[in-house]
Amino acid sequence: MDVLVTGATGFLGRRVVRELLDRGHRVRALVHTPGREALLPPGSVTVHQGSVSQPESLAAACWGVDAVVHLVAIIRRSKGASFDDVNRQGTANVVAAAKAAGGVQKLVHVSVIGAADNPALPYLQSKWQGEQAVVNSGVPYTILRPSLLFGEGDEFLNTLAGLVRVLPVVPVVGSGRNQFQPIAAEDLAKCVALALERPALNGQTIEIGGPQQISYLELLRLVARTLEKRRWRAHLPVWLMRLNVALLEKVQPRPPVTTEQLRLLPVRNVALLDSVERAFGFTPRPLEGNIDYIRSVGFGDGLRITLGFMPSRIRDH
Ligand SMILES: NC(=O)c1ccc[n+]([C@@H]2O[C@H](COP(=O)([O-])OP(=O)(O)OC[C@H]3O[C@@H](n4cnc5c(N)ncnc54)[C@H](OP(=O)(O)O)[C@@H]3O)[C@@H](O)[C@H]2O)c1
């Protein structure tokens, strides 16, 4: 198939591009920031420069493809881009361009567990609104709602590793018992490709996660064990953490955690334990034994992460 991948240069997008190429598809990549195409396999991908906020760039990118995999989203607001601009309107623009192109027979859209029409959670609401654009498009679709992603270059575990390297006492928001079901980005990429190829999955919205449900506290312990560090933990009340984070957001370019991420902590972030087996017929890899990449986060990296400068060396895998 000829497939357009939006968000192709992102953490998940790079894995999806590789998976699609390995399975014999021809890939067209929508590249947002000029130069980031260097992160894609050289010579194997057709690059279209564009933005989900520029419908004319999407028309050109969608022209002549059989399917669109839509991965663009932001979880951090910036001056130029709100959740509404990118996650809702941007998705609506991609859907409109896919329909107008005429030949698109399948849309695969990656959303997130917890997406809901709830104005108190702007990120999740914008992701829900993006889903609605896909559901109402009239184009056959599959929506995947993953839990937390892990893999070389991830933000969550690398940030935790940075904090564990540098801080003798690591902050925990509230009880730390909130559950996640992390799934490897490579495994989600495989699910995306299978969703594209299997018409039986058309019209479905599928929540997926890895083989284990794990609390924030247990994740922190696993990271510390992997780095061979022993750390104390300080349980901070949510209001105090909110205050700290609001201050960090004023002074740091990329704080290790944002107000929006704090809002998401209490939201249920788990799927069925066998969600991937049921929908896609394979067993996803566990966290344990697959996060050695965090060992490359040294003390200097940890300091930069804690001060709000995620090193691109760590992100761009
Ligand atoms: N990471 C997770 O733990 C996680 C968990 C659940 C769901 N998801 C979902 O998975 C999908 C992929 O996430 P990710 O972690 O791979 O994110 P990511 O690494 O931040 O990648 C986002 C991609 O979107 C591109 N992009 C941003 N704004 C754009 C715009 N206006 N026009 C066109 N492209 C734009 C980025 O390009 P530039 O860098 O050049 O701007 C980048 O290629 C998202 O839909 C996300 O909601 C992620």
List, for residues 176-216, the tens digit of each pLDDT value. Answer: 999 999 999 999 999 999 999 999 999 999 999 999 999 99
Distance, CA of 141 to CA of 276 (rounded, Å): 18
Return the HEC string of 81-122: ECHHHHHHHHHHHHHHHHHHHCCCCEEEEECCCCCCCCCCCH
The answer to whether residue 168 sits within a structural domain is yes
Do residues 65 and 128 both lie within one domain?
A: yes
- Do 82 and 168 sit in the same domain of this protein? no
Q: Whose CA is nearest to atom 5 of ligand 1?
A: 148
Q: What ligand 1 atom has the least distance to the C-alpha of 113? A: 6
Mark whether 161 and 310 lie in a shared domain.
yes
Ligand 1 binding pocket mutation candidate from 149, 216, 257, 287 (most atoms within 8 A of CB): 149
Residue 14 scores a pLDDT above 90: yes
Domain carrying residue 93 = 2-139
- The model's confidence at residue 304, banded by pLDDT at 50, 70 and 90, is very high
Distance 124 CA to ligand 1 centre (A): 14
Least confident of 26-35, 167-176, 189-198: 167-176
Nearest to 295 by CA among 220, 224, 214: 224
Q: Are residues 87 and 165 in the same domain?
A: no
